[in-house]
Amino acid sequence: MLQIGPVRLSSNVLLAPIAGYCDLAFRLVVRKITTPIPETRCVAGVGLACTDLLCPQAVLNENRKSMWLAATCDQDQPLCMQLYGTDPDILAQAAQWAVEHGACVVDINMGCPVDKVTKKNGGSKLLCDPASTVLLAKRVVEAVDVPVTAKIRLGWDDRSIVGPSLAPALADVGIAAITVHGRTTEQKFRGSCRLDGIARVVEAMKHHPGVPVIGNGDIKSPQDAKRMLDVTGCRGVMIGRGALKQPWLLRDTAYYLATGELPTPLTHAEKAEVMIDHFDTLCRLRGEETALRMIRQRISWYSPGLQPWPGLRRGIQTVQSAAQFHDYMATGIEQIKSVGSEIAVAAV
Ligand SMILES: Cc1cc2nc3c(=O)[nH]c(=O)nc-3n(C[C@H](O)[C@H](O)[C@H](O)COP(=O)(O)O)c2cc1C
């Protein structure tokens, strides 16, 4: 099993940070979807989940929005909190704050390509100054007694592929795991994830066997994850957008990697129940109005996995209360159960 410093994970499948999406409610939903692995005492599911990127100064000020982003609870373990920025002292203090507020792993974001972050030299801009980045990492490692990890891209662009040199330098100062998204910053999310690039980082880390490399990018199925492990030699996989469409993908992947077989797929109705659970968890944590707004934003991610259900998107956009949401979903699920998922529930 995958281990990050002293933290032993129950699977080598990790939930990626996705700003605006991987909040506490979503993490709890994904964590709940598990299946026992036959003939073992293990359960297939999420190995580690991460908060979205947190601004260290905002965290230290306990700014309201950041407190929502950093919110966690006992069921949300093991949890990694991700920080971005460039000021070593502020990052170190924010890392201490993260540990005091529930993080058992702290991650430094070195991969965000968004201008708002890179213009202040944070996120993937850290790839452009590896020497300072290593010192920054060292400062954070020394500030906390939990493992500190780094999430990088291959490099800023094709002319500066720094992953294979930066990863071992980070390990030398105590970084406990490296996640590599197989694209450059310049690529943003264009093109496809480059497994050969991830393989080069894995190869460069061969003298650091205690520091796992986790591969990330474009995993949409358990088979994609297996291919990433086989082709690159990485020890774990991190899944982002695939989980927004199919929150059960982490369970399916962990099961497949452990057994070589796919678990019994969720029925159509069970998938709809996942979305209901997401809504109910949002209601509990954020209140009805926010839950309705957020589930409307999420329906375009859920919708493809719940097809055939024509009208689902429109239906969710029009519900005005939790009661209406539940009525709408219950009617749809009853129809699915009575006619089978092959027949479109056009009337809903
Ligand atoms: C909308 C969006 C927000 C993201 N936010 C973060 C973030 O806060 N921190 C981070 O390290 N990566 C972030 N990422 C990158 C993902 O964690 C992941 O590396 C990337 O989406 C590739 O993996 P995937 O193909 O499985 O989604 C974000 C990606 C997207 C699309």
What residue owns the CA closest to ligand 1's atom 4? 18
Question: Is the distance from the beta carbon of residue 34 to the nearest atom of ligand 1 less than 6 Å?
Answer: no
Question: Is the distance from the beta carbon of residue 149 to the nearest atom of ligand 1 less than 6 Å?
Answer: no
**Crossing angle for the helix pair 249-259 and 222-232, to the nearest 10 degrees:** 50
Looking at residue 339, its pLDDT comes to 63
Paired residues of 44 in beta bridges: 35
Q: What is the residue whose two structure tokens read 């406990």?
A: 176
Looking at residue 277, its pLDDT comes to 97
Q: What is the residue whose two structure tokens read 């708002």?
A: 116
For 305-347, the pLDDT digits (tens) are 888 887 898 999 999 999 999 999 999 888 877 765 444 444 3
What residue owns the CA closest to ligand 1's atom 29? 18
Residue spans of beta strands (DSSP E) within the chain: 3-4, 7-8, 13-15, 35-36, 43-44, 48-50, 79-83, 105-110, 148-153, 177-181, 213-216, 236-239
For 192-247, the pLDDT digits (tens) are 999 999 999 999 999 999 999 999 999 999 999 999 999 999 999 999 999 999 99
Token representation of residue 275: 């979305």
Residue of 251, 272, 274 whose CA lies nearest to 331: 272
In the chain, where the domains are located? 3-259, 268-339
CATH architecture of the region 268-339:
Orthogonal Bundle (1.10)
Residues in the chain: 348
CATH architecture of the region 3-259:
Alpha-Beta Barrel (3.20)
Contact between 186 and 158 under an 8 Å Cβ cutoff? The reply is yes
Whole-model pTM: value is 0.96
User: Phi and psi of 107, rounded to 5°?
Assistant: -110, 145
Using the mean position of ligand 1's atoms as its centre, give its distance from the Cα of residue 342 in Å.
33
Question: Is the distance from the beta carbon of residue 55 to the nearest atom of ligand 1 less than 6 Å?
Answer: no
Using the mean position of ligand 1's atoms as its centre, give its distance from the Cα of residue 341 in Å.
32
The mean pLDDT values, 10 residues at a time, for the chain of 348 residues are 96 97 98 96 96 97 97 98 97 98 98 95 97 98 98 98 98 98 97 98 98 98 98 98 97 98 94 96 97 95 86 92 96 78 43
